[in-house]
Amino acid sequence: MLFNSKIFLVYFLPVVLLGFVLLTRLGARRASVAWLSVASVVFYGWWNIQAVPLFMLSIIANFLMGKSLARTRSAWLLLVAVGVNLGVLGYYKYAGFVVSVAVDATGVDWTIPHIVLPLAISFFTFQQIAYLSDAYDGTAVQHSFLDYCLFISFFPHLIAGPITHHSEMLPQFNRLMSGRGEAGRAAVGMTLFLIGLFKKVILADPMGAYATPVFALAGAGHVPAMGAAWAGAGSYALQIYFDFSGYTDMAIGLGLLFGISLPPNFDSPFKSRNIIEFWSRWHMTLTRFLTAYIYNPLVLRLTRARAKKGLRLPRRGQHTLGTFATLVALPSLFTMFLSGLWHGAGWQFIVFGLLHGVYLSINHGWRSLKAALGYRIDGGWIAHAGSVLLTCLCVLVGLVFFRADSVSAARAILHGMVLGAPQGGGAIAVGLRQVMLIAVLLLVVWGLPNAGQWMRNFQTALNYRPARSWLERAWPSSAWRPGPVCGLVVGAVGMLAVMRALSAAPTEFLYFQF
């Protein structure tokens, strides 16, 4: 079931919201949690009812293993529990890729039945691995099975994030009471939902229509012309930007409708001055997970290994080449390699991850060098603008691999961007409308505040309070507040988005495939 589909907008959301409001008004907290849990499982099963048993078995098994880990603190049980989760994820998501690699490498005649990838398996697997790790460490929040089930299955974030943490979600379920004072949060939530729907159906989907022919041409083995290659790559970058931004706004808005604050997951990443900042703004909860459970433990282990050998640790900004490679570059490359694999089973995703690992290593090295030489890390506005443009260019190259069907298709796009199409290459016309739309959307991305900034005076995402935008500083009354003016603006935007959503076949959000 898609947020932008008729079945969700007209039937599912109104029925679930009405039932929740009635139960909370009656003070039936447990019943309201049970209602949301059942609705979330129905939401998940709407895609494929055959995937529900695996989904529920995963929730039940991890709940029981988490309880056992909290009691016994058994390292072996933790390894088994995490191994089972990764094994299930590996079978469904990577078995076909591994077999194809083995066939290509050895020439053996292996086949594997077609495996249907369960929806959101990467998201709910990562959430549960984090829960198991914290249960072993003794930091898991006390909870009932019903709360845990809702923590994993809560439909606003289930399919494409944010990847939530038990410590920020389970206490909120315990506070679901009478619903008093929720009118303000409901207004904030509905505003965010409509803004996200507008981004998806009005901005992201048209850009996808421009990007698809270029990548299809490259997938067929042709090199697009230079203009078409840049326009196709730029269109996809804007498509995934507004698609993911839109989903995040809709997810956070839906959570607020039910009295739940989800963590921030998207914060204008194309305004980032470097790749380190980019990953702190793009899929923020995935970055949080990778940092907390992979990058930091790996750095800690490498640091302890050096200490056992009697090697001194470098001071900040004073890395030698050896310590930098060991304590910065290696963890960055490994973590981003896993990030690439998490996004998809294919060499193009591995290249995407490793490329960003190289980006991060260079970024950390450059910052360390500047610090060692006594230069400021960040310069003036000219340096700022140049850094943003350079970061966006690096991200654009990575997104070519992210979107392409194969590494060879990505190389064809990049060849076209740098050298253009050879004689007889593929030709796709780039219209004035597409160029103007790309230019306008770039101005929106770089020049306007995001939804969280516009609504910063009210709680949107959990523990998120962005700085005032230039627009609010210049025009304080432009900030969102419940009232007739904002109501009319959001109503018009929302009406346009809903009409478009109901009049066309819904398209999947891009992160659904991960």
User: Looking at the annotation, which residues are catalytic?
Assistant: 343
What's at 371, amino acid-wise? Answer: A
| CB neighbours of residue 78 within 10 Å | 21
Task: Determine the Cα–Cα distance for residues 59 and 128; give it in Å rounded to an integer.
Answer: 8
Contact (Cβ atoms closer than 8 angstroms) between residue 253 and residue 199? no
Which phi and psi angles does 483 have, rounded to 5°?
A: 170, 175
Q: Is 282 helix (H, G, I), strand (E, B) or coil?
A: strand
Amino acid (one-letter) located at 131: Y
Both tokens assigned to 88:
């299930």
User: How far is residue 215's CA from residue 233's CA, in Å, rounded to a whole number?
Assistant: 8
> What does the alpha-carbon distance between residue 20 and residue 273 come to, in Å, rounded to a whole number?
43
Nearest to 331 by CA among 292, 294, 363, 279: 294
SS3 labels along 423-472: CCCECCCCCHHHHHHHHHHHHHHHHCCCHHHHCCCCCCCCCCCCCCCHHH
> Pick from 398, 405, 285: which is nearest to 345 by CA?
405
Q: Are 92 and 115 in contact (CB under 8 A)?
A: yes
Contacts of 112 (CB under 8 A, 6+ apart): 95, 96, 99
Nearest to 221 by CA among 419, 417, 410, 420: 410
CB-based contact 462:261 (threshold 8 Å): yes
Among candidates 294, 293, 342, which has minimal Cα distance to 122? 342
Residue with tokens 């019943």: 31
* Backbone phi and psi for residue 203, each to the nearest 5 degrees, phi listed first: -105, -50
Q: What angle do CA 265, 267, 268 make, to 5 degrees?
A: 140
Compute the distance between CA of residue 150 and CA of residue 119 in angstroms, rounded to an integer.
17
CB count, 10 Å around CB of 419? 11
Q: Which residue, among 165, 383, 425, 157, has the nearest Cα to 293 in the 3D structure?
A: 165
Token reading at 112: 């594997």
